[in-house]
Amino acid sequence: MIETSFTLPCGLILPNRIVKAAMTEKFSDVDGHATPRHACLFERLAEGGAGMLITGNVVIDPRYLEAPGNVFIEDDSGLDALKRWAAAGKSRGVRMIMQLNHAGRQTPASVSPVSIAPSAVPLNLGTFFSVPRAMSDVEIEEVIGRFAFAASLAEKAGFDGVEIHAAHGYLISQFLSPRINKRNDMWGGSIANRARLLVRVVEAVRGAVSDGFAVGIKLNVGDFIKGGLEPEDSIAVARMLDPLGVDFIELSGGTHERAVSFGFGDAPEGPRSEAYFLSYARDIRSVTRVPLILTGGMRSAQVMRDVLQARHCDLIGMARPLVIEPDLPRLLLRGALREARSFSLKLPASPRANLLELLWSREQLIRIADGKAPKLNASPKLSLYRMLWDELGFRRRRARFVARFPVQPSSIFVALANGLRKPRPDQGAARPAA
């Protein structure tokens, strides 16, 4: 079944069932615009044969990046670069999706010493990340408007859709988590309130784009950390998304503090297993008609066929195997390979090992973007040194960067959010945030 086409609810036809899941690229120019590297990388990935490509983080607010080097959208000044990026990804008939994100409290300190979050709950990961403060209602409305604006610009640039990142501990995921969201207003408390930001973002994005433009969600099936988002809440969120015109839900899990989506920290289906989140996909499948992408540990064509045949999901997401073998989807589809190449950096499971593996994978993305083949014997430590060098360079530029993007909320995005707002009977008067 992986070789069969699939039609999303918006009418977008995918040529096969393999999706290249998001991997952060982090090689924008100094203005946060896409570069020739983005176009080269995605043209090469399009040649690899996946039916749909999802970009790495495109950040909707330059003050709160996921990492230095993120592409970000503040206005339409980068539209031409986005057009080239979209065209490169679509060059082989592949569908191209832009992932939209806001880092919230997972903003590195090199980007900003202070970040925003539903509540002032810091990460338990030392001083690498900024100190969060609780958001005001106006700031929440601004975030909604920024997602809508970014989606509309993605459509103008020629992308086929967007994926709203509500997983892995980023801002929308933070609102969903009772461990982080301690608010006592309409944005916190019950799962209906904690999911309100996600629902409002989906409604605003859907109202800002055409009916044929895909709107997807990346959703944690659980945070897998004490006090975080539980699987039963994820099921409730999926049920809420069902009537909102969502075209796909990509299932993942974990946060920076619990990196189960990368196969560390005892993945839910077992360490280093395939299909980490399969049992949770079965439960979510029972409450929603929205097509599901299952991402996390998928390696063999037979397992992919089995989960598709059982209708536990509709599409298969793959990420890190493609930095080792960009042609993997085409080879699996043709039957030339039965599974992804087995490869390990042989690092002991730890937060530092998680970081090194991710940085090593990004180094392979850079090589592919520069027209080179992956280098499997590249040193993870050198990848870490490159990241530290990039961080140092960003710190030196930060004063100019902050001056360009003042802290106060933008009335333009607040007005856009309210203009696209659909009245909901359960929205009561706001009370002070925690």
Nearest Cα to 276, choosing from 167, 163, 166, 162? Answer: 167
* Distance of alpha carbon 180 from alpha carbon 23, whole angstroms: 25
Residue with tokens 């930060």, as numbered in its chain: 398
pTM of structure: 0.91
- Provide, for the chain, the percentages of residues in helix, strand and coil under a 3-state DSSP scheme, each rounded to the nearest 5: 40, 15, 45
CB neighbour list of residue 97: distance below 8 Å, 6 or more residues apart: 52, 53, 54, 55, 159, 160, 161, 162, 163, 214, 216
* Distance of alpha carbon 321 from alpha carbon 20, whole angstroms: 10
* Distance of alpha carbon 208 from alpha carbon 211, whole angstroms: 10
Q: Can you read off the two tokens belonging to residue 104? A: 């919230």
Which domains, ranges and CATH numbers included, belong to the chain? Answer: 6-419 (3.20.20.70)
* Distance of alpha carbon 384 from alpha carbon 380, whole angstroms: 6
Q: How far is CA 15 from CA 212, 248, 335, 342, in A?
A: 17, 16, 16, 27
Nearest Cα to 150, choosing from 62, 41, 265, 250? Answer: 62
* Distance of alpha carbon 128 from alpha carbon 131, whole angstroms: 10
Query: Is 319 within 8 Å of 23 (Cβ atoms)?
Result: yes
pLDDT in tens, the chain (434 residues): 899 999 999 999 999 999 999 999 999 998 999 999 999 999 999 999 999 999 999 999 999 999 999 999 999 999 999 999 999 999 999 999 999 999 999 999 888 889 999 999 998 877 788 999 999 999 999 999 999 999 999 999 999 999 999 999 999 999 999 999 999 999 999 999 999 999 999 999 999 999 999 999 999 998 788 888 899 999 999 999 999 999 999 998 877 766 654 554 444 444 346 787 888 999 999 999 999 999 988 889 999 999 999 999 999 999 989 999 999 999 999 999 998 887 777 777 666 677 778 788 888 999 999 999 998 888 888 887 777 777 777 777 777 777 788 777 787 888 888 887 654 444 333 333 44
What DSSP letter does each residue of 237-301 carry, written as one string? HHHHHTTTT--EEEEE--BTTB-GGGT-S--TTSTT-SSTTHHHHHHHHTT--S-EEEESS--BH
Strand (E) or helix (H) holding 222: none
* Residue 250: φ, ψ to 5°: -90, 125
Q: What per-residue confidence (pLDDT) applies to 357?
A: 80
Beta carbons within 10 angstroms of residue 170's beta carbon: 25
